[in-house]
Amino acid sequence: MDAPLRTLAVWCPDWPVVAAEIAEGVSAHDPVAVLAANRVVACSEAARAEGVRRGLRKREAQSRCPHLVVVADDPVRDARTFEPVVAAVEELAPGVEVVRPGACALAARGPSGYFGGEERAAQRIVEHVAQVCAVESQVGIADGGFAAGLAARAGRIVPPGGTADFLSPVGVTVLDRPQLTDLLRRLGIRTLGDFSALPVRDVLARFGFDAAYAHRLAAGRDVAPLAVRRPPPDLDVQQTYDEPLDRVDAAAFAARGLAQRLHERLAAYGLACTRLVIEAVTAHGEELHRTWRHEGMLSTTGIADRVRWQLDGWLTRTGTGEGRPTAGILRLRLMPDGVVRHAGLQPGLWGDAGEEQERAHRALTRVQGMLGPEAVVTAVLGGGRSPADRVRLVPWGDERASAGPDATWPGRLPSPAPAVVPPQPLPAVVYAADGSPVEVTGRLAVSAPPARVAVDRAGPVDVVGWAGPWPVDERWWAPAEAYRRVRFQVTLDDGRALLVVLSGGQWAVEAIYE
Amino acid sequence: MAEILALRPRATTTVAGAGSTLRAILGDTAAESAIGVRLPLLPPLDKLFGRGLRRGAVVAVDGDAARMSLAMALMAGVSGDGGWCGVVGVPSFGCVAASELGVRLDRLAMVPQPGPVWAEAMAAMLPGMDVLLVQPPGLVPGRLARRLAARARQARCTVLTLGPVWEGADVRISAVHQEWLGVGAGSGRLRSRRVRVAVSNRPGSELDVWLPAEGGGVAEVELTVQPPLSIVDRRVAAGAVDLDEAV
C-alpha cells in the first residue's frame, strides 16, 4: 500500500471574515460575523472574544455582542479573494490544491528540499503570503492532506511517521460527517484514536464506505493524491509604443495587431472572451479603462473594432472635454475578463442571433464608444404604478433581466399607456370654473370640477372631460421615500389628453397621451 | 460566314432573355410585393401609402396631435416583422405605450440624451437599424439633412423625424384631428382615440383610425358603424355610473 504523501497545508484563519474585509472593507479587527441562512459560519477574533460562536443564530449572536457587524456569506467572494493567496503560494512552490477558500495544500517534498528543511519552507510561505497579500496564515505539515489540514490549524509540523499519534487525541467532529460522529459519540467513541482502533472490516460492514474512508483518515492513512490545480493562463496582451498614438488611424492600426495577438492567444487555449477590458495609458500617465460586453464570441475584427471605437472615442471626445486625454496613448492593454470555453458559436436559426442582431449590435456599440456605455439603453418592463416606474432602462449589452414577475399592481394606470412620459413632470395648474386652483382633500373630495389646465407657462386650455381623483400612496412606511398623490386624466378642448397629478398642493403633468 | 449568320439569331435571343429577366427584376422592385424594399406597416396604416413606404425614406411625423403614437405605430409594423428600432434624442419616449402598440422592447435601442453629437450618433446607428426615430434639438439645416438622408437611403433605414424641423423629408405624415373617448365629467377613463391621419404625398387621402383602439392596437374606423362604445361606456360618459377601475 502507498504511504501517505507528506503534505504541507496553508490555512488562513476565519477566511470568510478576511474575504469580507478585502472585498467589502469591513474591518476584521471589529467583531464581525459571516452568516449563512441565519447561522454564523465564521466570526472574527474580536467577535469570538465576546462569545460569538459558529452555528449561533443571528439574534443570539447579536445579543452576546450588540455591536456585531453582520456580513452575508458569499462563497464566490471567498473563492475570488483567495485566488491571490493561492497565486502567492504558487510563486514559491508549484502544484497547489485548493481545498476550500481559506485552505490549500501542496506536496511538502519540493519546498522543504528547496528551502532546506520543512520548518524553513513553512516559515518562508507564511512570510511570502503576508508580504504579497497582507493575509495572516498558518502552515502545518503532516502525512496526508487531512492530517496536514489539522496540523495547520495547530500550526505544527508533525514529524514523519508521527501522524497517527498526532491524530489520536483529536475529537471525531473534525471528520466533518455529522451523522457518523453523532453515532460514534453515542457509542462512546470520542477521539480519532478510539475510532481508528476499531477493526476496518467492522467499520465498513456497520457504517458503510464513507465511514471506512473516514476510518482511514482517522488512522493517518490518507493516501488520496492532491488534486493539483492548473494555474490559469495569462491571457492579457499589451503593447508599448515609442511614438504616442494621437491619431485615430494610427490607433486603429495598433488595435488591429493587438486584437490579432489576443485572438490567437485565446484560440490557443480554446477559450472565447465575453467581456473585454481595454486599458490605455497616455504619455502623461493618465489611465483610461473601459469594459465591453459581448454575448457571442469576439472575433479578431470584433476585438479590433471595439478597440478602435474606444480609441476613437477617447481621442476625439467632443463636448465638455472632460475625460479627454491630454496626450497620446503610450501603452495599450487588452484583458479578457470573463472567458468561456469556446465550443463554437451556434447562431440562432431565425433572427434572434443572426446577422441582423450582429449588425444592430455593432451599430449600438459604436454609439456607446462615442457617448459612453450608459448612453445607449434598452427598456425592460416591470411592476409599478406610474408609466415612468414601469420602465427600467438598462445599458445596451447588459443583461435584460426582468424586474420580477409582472404582478398585479393595485392602482396601476389602466391601458392605454401615455405615449409621452417626460423625465421630469411638467409644472401645471388646474383651475376650477371660478379661476381658483382645484384642491383635493385628504378624503379625496375635489373642491370643484377642473375647468381649465395651464401647462408649463402656456395659457390655460378648457377641460372637456376628466376622470379621477385616483389616489396613490407609495412607500408610506419609509418617510424619506414616501410619495402620496392623486391622479386625474383630463381631456382638453384642443384634443389633447393629459395625466395630471396633485402632490403636496402642487399640480404637475406626469404624462401626455400624445 | 454561314457560321456567323447561324450565330446571330442565337445571340439576339440571349439578349432578349436577359432583357426580360431585367424587366422582371425591375417590375418586382416597383411592386408592393417586393419584400425588403417596402417597409412593413400595420394593416390600417398601409392604406395611407398607396405603394408602400420605401426603406431608407425620411418620414416627417408632425402635426399637433398624436405625433408620438403615430411614430410608434409606424415602428410597430417593422418591429413585429423582426426589425430593429432605434430612438435618438427622445427622452420622453413612453416605452409602455410603445409596447402596447406592438413595438418589441428587446429590439428597441434608445439614446435618450445624445447631446450635441446627435447627428453623429444617428449616423452611427443607421446601419444597424430598420427604423430610427429622431427628434433633433432644433431646425436641421438642409445640408446636414441631405447628408443624413443619403446615409439612411444607403443603409436602408427609414428615418422618422418628430416635429417640423427636418427640411426636405420624403413624406410628411400628420394627424390633423384627434378625439379621446371614455372620459366623462369626473368618471370613466381614457379608452380609445380617433385620429384623422393625412399624408403629404397623397393629398386628399385621409384616413380615420383608432390609435389606440379599444383594447389596444391600431384599427381603421368603420364609417358605417357607430363608434364601438359599449353600453357601460355610454352610461359612464353620461355620468350615470362611477366606474372607477383604476383605484
Rg, Å, chain B Cα set: 23
Contact B128 A363 (CB under 8 A): yes
User: Can you tell me the mean pLDDT for B236-240?
Assistant: 51
Closest CA to A463 of A497, A486, A437: A497
Q: Is A9 on the interface with B (CB under 8 A)?
A: no
CA distance B56 to chain A (A): 16
The mean pLDDT of chain B is 77
Contacts of A375 in chain B (CB under 8 A): 111, 113-114, 121
Contacts of A468 in chain B (CB under 8 A): 186
Contacts of A466 in chain B (CB under 8 A): 183, 185-186
Nearest to A363 among B95, B120, B127 (CB): B127
pLDDT grade for A304, boundaries at 50, 70 and 90: confident
Q: What is the structure's pLDDT at B229?
A: 53
CA distance A341 to chain B (A): 27
Closest CA to B95 of A394, A503, A485: A394
Contacts of B192 in chain A (CB under 8 A): 416
* Number of Cα atoms under 13 Å in the Cβ half of residue B96: 25
Asked whether the predicted pLDDT for residue B4 surpasses 50, the reply is: no
Q: What is the structure's pLDDT at B6?
A: 41
User: Can you tell me the mean pLDDT for A407-435?
Assistant: 87
| Of A7-11, A348-352, A353-357, A388-392, highest mean pLDDT | A7-11
| Of A313-317, A336-340, B1-5, B88-92, highest mean pLDDT | B88-92
Q: What is the structure's pLDDT at A10?
A: 93
User: Can you tell me the mean pLDDT for B155-184?
Assistant: 87
Q: Is B63 on the interface with A (CB under 8 A)?
A: no
Comparison of pLDDT for B60 and A94, the residue scoring more: B60
- Scored b (16 or more CB within 10 A) or e, B185-203 reads ebbbbbbbbbbbbbbeeee
Comparison of pLDDT for A512 and A255, the residue scoring more: A512
User: Can you tell me the mean pLDDT for A486-501?
Assistant: 91
Residues A367-394 have pLDDT tens digits of 887 887 778 888 888 878 888 888 888 8
Comparison of pLDDT for A458 and B36, the residue scoring more: A458
Q: What is the structure's pLDDT at B11?
A: 39
Contact B109 A371 (CB under 8 A): no
List B residues 205-224 in contact with A (Cβ-Cβ < 8 A). Answer: 212, 216
Q: What is the structure's pLDDT at A307?
A: 79
Closest CA to A279 of A336, A338, A335, A235: A335
Contacts of A465 in chain B (CB under 8 A): 180, 183-185, 188
Contact B92 A496 (CB under 8 A): no
Residues A10-54 have pLDDT tens digits of 999 889 999 888 888 888 888 899 988 889 988 888 898 988 888
List B residues 125-144 in contact with A (Cβ-Cβ < 8 A). Answer: 125-129
Contact A513 B72 (CB under 8 A): no
Asked whether the predicted pLDDT for residue B230 surpasses 80, the reply is: no
Q: Please list the alpha-helical segments (H only) found in A55-96.
A: 58-64, 75-92
| Of A230-234, A461-465, B200-204, B218-222, highest mean pLDDT | A461-465
Pick the range with the lowest mean pLDDT from A2-6, A34-38, B13-17, B141-145: B13-17
Pick the range with the lowest mean pLDDT from A42-51, A222-231, B11-20, B198-207: B11-20
Name the helix (H) or strand (E) containing B196: strand B188-199
Contacts of A366 in chain B (CB under 8 A): 124-125
Q: What is the structure's pLDDT at A98?
A: 85
Nearest to A497 among B180, B245, B246 (CB): B180
Q: What is the structure's pLDDT at A372?
A: 76
Q: Is A363 on the interface with B (CB under 8 A)?
A: yes
User: Can you tell me the mean pLDDT for A307-327?
Assistant: 66
Q: What is the structure's pLDDT at A383?
A: 79
Cell numbers found for residue B218: 391600431
Q: What is the structure's pLDDT at B231?
A: 53
Q: What is the structure's pLDDT at A324?
A: 65
Q: What is the structure's pLDDT at A320?
A: 45
Comparison of pLDDT for B34 and A136, the residue scoring more: A136
What torsion, rounded to 10 degrees, do the Cα atoms B125, B126, B131, B136 define? 70
Q: Is A380 on the interface with B (CB under 8 A)?
A: yes
Comparison of pLDDT for A97 and B25, the residue scoring more: A97
Contact A417 B96 (CB under 8 A): yes
**Mutant choice from B180, B197, B229, B233 vs A, greatest count of A C-beta within 10 A:** B180
Measured in Å, how far apart are chain B's first and last C-alpha atoms?
Answer: 95
Contact A422 B212 (CB under 8 A): no
Asked whether the predicted pLDDT for residue B244 surpasses 60, the reply is: no
CA distance B30 to chain A (A): 25
Sheet hosting strand A391-395, strand order edge to edge: A391-395, A377-381, B108-111, B85-88, B131-134, B158-162, B58-62, B171-183, B188-199, B206-210, B219-220
Q: What is the structure's pLDDT at B12?
A: 39
Contacts of A305 in chain B (CB under 8 A): none
Asked whether the predicted pLDDT for residue A490 surpasses 90, the reply is: yes
Integer Cα distance of A390 and A403 in angstroms: 9
Asked whether the predicted pLDDT for residue B70 surpasses 70, the reply is: yes
- Looking at residue B219, its amino acid is A
List B residues 170-199 in contact with A (Cβ-Cβ < 8 A). Answer: 177-180, 183-193
Q: What is the structure's pLDDT at B226?
A: 53
Closest CA to A425 of A386, A451, A460: A386
What residue in B sits closest to A318 (Cα-Cα)? B117
What residue in A sits closest to B96 (Cα-Cα)? A417
Residues A71-90 have pLDDT tens digits of 888 888 888 888 888 888 98
Contacts of B98 in chain A (CB under 8 A): 419
Q: Please count the other Cβ atoms lying within 10 Å of the Cβ belonging to residue B177.
A: 16
Asked whether the predicted pLDDT for residue B8 surpasses 70, the reply is: no
Q: What is the structure's pLDDT at B108?
A: 92
Pick the range with the lowest mean pLDDT from A357-366, A432-441, B24-33: B24-33
Asked whether the predicted pLDDT for residue A238 surpasses 90, the reply is: no
Q: Is A414 on the interface with B (CB under 8 A)?
A: yes
CA distance A271 to chain B (A): 28
| CB distance A62 to A5 below 8 Å | no
Q: Is A458 on the interface with B (CB under 8 A)?
A: no
User: Can you tell me the mean pLDDT for A233-238?
Assistant: 80
CA A451 to chain centre: 54
Pick the range with the lowest mean pLDDT from A134-143, A226-235, A279-288: A226-235
pLDDT grade for A247, boundaries at 50, 70 and 90: confident
pLDDT grade for A484, boundaries at 50, 70 and 90: confident
Asked whether the predicted pLDDT for residue B28 surpasses 60, the reply is: no
What residue in A sits closest to B88 (Cα-Cα)? A376
Asked whether the predicted pLDDT for residue B100 surpasses 80, the reply is: yes
Q: Please list the alpha-helical segments (H only) found in A136-287.
A: 145-154, 163-167, 178-186, 192-197, 200-207, 209-218, 248-268
Integer Cα distance of B93 and A423 in angstroms: 9
Give the count of Cβ contacts less than 8 A between chain A and B: 175
CA B155 to chain centre: 17
Q: Is A95 on the interface with B (CB under 8 A)?
A: no
What residue in B sits closest to A376 (Cα-Cα)? B111
Cell numbers found for residue A92: 514559491
Q: Please list the alpha-helical segments (H only) found in B31-92.
A: 67-80
Q: What is the structure's pLDDT at A251?
A: 78
SS3 B124: helix
Nearest to B188 among A418, A422, A467 (CB): A467
CA distance A279 to chain B (A): 24
SS3 B167: coil
pLDDT grade for B217, boundaries at 50, 70 and 90: confident
Contacts of B184 in chain A (CB under 8 A): 465, 467
Contact A396 B109 (CB under 8 A): yes
Pick the range with the lowest mean pLDDT from A45-54, A124-133, A435-444, B217-226: B217-226
Residues A161-186 have pLDDT tens digits of 888 889 989 888 888 888 888 999 99
pLDDT grade for B32, boundaries at 50, 70 and 90: very low
Residues B107-153 have pLDDT tens digits of 899 999 998 889 999 999 999 999 999 999 888 888 999 999 999 99
Contact B95 A356 (CB under 8 A): no
Percent of chain B with pLDDT over 70: 74
Comparison of pLDDT for A309 and A117, the residue scoring more: A117
Contact B94 A490 (CB under 8 A): no
Contact A418 B94 (CB under 8 A): yes
Contact B105 A381 (CB under 8 A): yes
Percent of chain B with pLDDT over 90: 26
The mean pLDDT of chain A is 83
Q: What is the structure's pLDDT at B9?
A: 40
Asked whether the predicted pLDDT for residue A349 surpasses 90, the reply is: no
